[in-house]
């Protein structure tokens, strides 16, 4: 049974979305969402699941942006682990294949690449995460260091740290780094200064909680009112406030919540294959921070019995919706797709597809239409999609589908 400490982790997740609402004095209550003492609780009800359309949450326009490779091999993207928008530039973080950061402008032109692969000073053997703040690119790297680069990709400095972090976030308000250390660490999160010294520790390891093995690339959310942290399989979003993380948003899963004690027992008694099958069928309602949070929405993922859902918290109206995983594309009708996970600047968010994958989607679309309807679609609302798809056919790089959330 999930203990109170970790139940609050889910709540913190909700608090992240609520960042906009925290300054409100009203105590709006509804059957599904209520707020008490600055903590928002969302009751998750699978009976309320419905289909969701893009125009329910986004402006009625999709921008297709091809990240062009041209003849420059440095522009070829291996795999997008994270995408960051900053100062009208797009930073592609590829920790797995390319072990690099590629920088493109907002027209999709390649600008430069950071790939200091190797041993010794100014080099890294592996990359874990990226963050950008105050015109500086920060890389969490191995062996155990944080590296700094300017926006052109030029090396500035580095310092060693005492932990092997998995993800991190630079907080410009406190001028410190928050490093998530993974599920086996004595503390899930450490606060580190620019000399690499640990100056604070948060979320002590709880042996009664199943932490799982999810990579959690989106543990940290930056809101207008501060920094938030959450983790998969739990239920709370925490806000950093005066040196501690406090619950701000909680998902109430009711009887469908994960039985952490039973999950831990099964993990010990089964081999890895058996446990994987058991987990998929018996994990209960599980949260994943994959998604985005901006001034209007917290859009993340939930799963239950191998079925995925999209959780949308509307900060403006203090309302929550649970919708089927793929969003219906009622903007250009190209294809339905899963919710965006990459947050750019302002209200912009993005989802990335290989150019060849986008082309295959266009071929599938054509096969469902008559020749006359296809010609009309190409010349009408499908024009941008078709042009991007046929251009993407000739590249292995990605095409970004950029949306703007409603204000």
Nearest-10 crossing angle of helices 272-282, 260-269: 160
Structure tokens at 348: 């912009």
Domain residue ranges of the chain, discontinuous segments joined by +? 4-404
Which tokens is 406 given?
């409603």
Report, at the CATH architecture level, how domain 4-404 is classified. 6 Propeller (2.120)
Return the higher-pLDDT residue of 375 and 282: 375
User: What is the rounded CA–CA span in Å between residue 397 and residue 237?
Assistant: 35
Query: For residue 14, what pLDDT is reported?
Result: 38
Q: Is residue 8 over pLDDT 70?
A: no
CA dist 335 and 332 (Å) reads: 8
What's the pLDDT score for residue 287? 85
Q: What is the pLDDT of residues 215-263, one digit of tens each?
A: 677 889 888 778 999 988 889 999 999 899 999 999 999 999 999 999 9
What is the average pLDDT across 62-89? 95
DSSP assignments along 170-183, one per residue: EETTTTEEEEE--T
**Does the pLDDT value for residue 26 go beyond 50?**
no
330 DSSP β-pair partners: none
The reported pLDDT for the residue numbered 215 is: 66
Q: Which residues, in sequence order, are bridge partners of residue 50?
A: 323
Strands (E), 51-88: 63-66, 82-86
Q: Cβ of 90: how many Cβ atoms within 10 Å?
A: 23
Give the closest residue to 358 by CA, choosing from 59, 62, 103, 96.
Answer: 62
Mean pLDDT (whole number) for 90-109: 96
101 closest CA partner among 135, 73, 130 = 130
Q: How far is CA 258 from the centre of its chain?
A: 22
CB proximity list for 4: less than 8 A, separation 6 or greater: none
Read off the tokens for 188: 């899930």
Q: pTM score, two decimals? A: 0.88
19 pLDDT more than 80 = no
pLDDT in tens, 54-63: 999 999 999 9
Torsion sign across C-alpha atoms 331, 337, 338, 342:
negative
pLDDT at 176 (0 to 100): 96
Closest CA to 318 of 117, 113, 19: 19
**Percent of the chain beyond pLDDT 70?**
92
């Amino acid at each position: 049974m999930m203990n109170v400490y970790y139940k609050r982790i889910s709540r913190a997740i909700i608090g992240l979305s609520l960042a906009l609402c925290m300054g409100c004095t009203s105590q709006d209550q509804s059957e599904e969402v209520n707020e008490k003492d600055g903590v928002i609780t969302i009751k998750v009800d699978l009976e309320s699941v419905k289909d969701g359309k893009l125009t329910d949450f986004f402006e009625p326009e999709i921008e297709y942006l091809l990240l062009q490779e041209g003849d420059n091999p440095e522009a070829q993207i291996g795999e997008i682990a994270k995408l960051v928008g900053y100062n009208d530039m797009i930073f592609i973080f590829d920790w797995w294949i390319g072990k690099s950061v590629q920088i493109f402008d907002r027209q999709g032109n390649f600008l430069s690449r950071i790939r200091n692969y190797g041993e010794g000073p100014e080099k890294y053997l592996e990359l874990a995460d990226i963050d950008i703040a105050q015109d500086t690119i920060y890389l969490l790297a191995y062996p155990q260091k944080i590296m700094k680069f300017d926006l052109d990709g030029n090396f500035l400095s580095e310092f060693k740290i005492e932990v092997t972090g998995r993800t991190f976030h630079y907080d410009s308000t406190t001028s410190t780094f928050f490093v998530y250390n993974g599920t086996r660490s004595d503390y899930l999160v450490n606060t580190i200064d620019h000399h690499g010294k640990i100056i604070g520790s948060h979320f002590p390891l709880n042996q009664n909680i199943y932490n799982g093995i999810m990579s959690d690339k989106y543990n940290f959310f930056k809101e207008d009112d501060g920094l938030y942290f959450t983790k998969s399989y739990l239920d709370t979003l925490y806000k950093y406030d005066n040196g501690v993380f406090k619950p701000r948003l909680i998902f109430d899963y009711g009887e469908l919540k994960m039985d952490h004690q039973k999950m831990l027992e099964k993990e010990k008694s089964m081999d890895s294959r058996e446990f994987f099958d058991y987990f998929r069928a018996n994990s209960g309602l599980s949260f994943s921070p994959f998604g985005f949070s901006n001034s209007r929405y917290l859009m993340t993922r939930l799963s239950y019995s191998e079925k995925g859902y999209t959780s949308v918290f509307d900060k403006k109206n203090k309302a929550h919706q649970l919708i089927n995983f793929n969003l219906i594309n009622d903007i250009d009708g190209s294809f339905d797709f899963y919710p965006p996970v990459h947050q750019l600047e302002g209200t912009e968010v993005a989802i990335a597809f290989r150019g060849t994958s986008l082309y295959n989607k266009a071929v599938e679309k054509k096969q469902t239409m008559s020749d006359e309807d296809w010609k009309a679609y190409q010349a009408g609302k499908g024009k941008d999609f078709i042009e991007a798809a046929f251009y993407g056919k000739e590249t292995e790089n990605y095409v970004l589908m950029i949306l703007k959330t409603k204000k």
